[in-house]
Amino acid sequence: MDTTTPPTMPTPTTEDKTVAILSYITLIGFIVAIVIHSSKKTQLGAFHLRQVLGLILTSIAGWICLAVMMFVLFFVLAFMKSVLAFLVPLIWFAFGVSMFVLWVMGLIAAINGQMKPMPVVGDLYQKWFAGAFA
């Protein structure tokens, strides 16, 4: 039986949580959070700023890729008069819902003052943007 206790994170202050929460509230909130974080750097703030930066970049890249793919797919399938053309909006919708779910999970972690990465991509964001907001 392992008797060692995991290292504990200091209890986040209201200011720490403010940066973390603000980063999830629109692009303007993200920019404001960066400004606030630059005057008082915290682990919690940096963690959530990296999560949101990754989510923003993933969303932009995903929407661009989907737009191109959907444009091509829609016209090819429509030209072929295929019933599969109706799947095109469903793929678009599924991507939007998945981005929204990741955003909500990140926001909930920020509200609770937790440094909990988003599922699937959160650890990658921390690795890719390790130098950002430090």
Categorize the per-residue pLDDT at 7 as very low, low, confident or very high, splitting at 50, 70 and 90.
Answer: very low
On whether residue 39 sits in a domain, the answer given is yes
Percent of the chain with pLDDT over 70: 84
Contact present, 33 and 41 (Cβ < 8 Å): no
The torsion defined by the Cα of 64, 68, 73 and 79, in degrees rounded to 10, comes to 140
> Residue 1 domain-assigned?
no
Q: What is the pLDDT of residue 75?
A: 74
For residue 4, is it within any domain?
Answer: no
In a domain, 7, yes or no: no
Confirm whether 64 is domain-assigned. yes
Domain that holds residue 50: 14-128
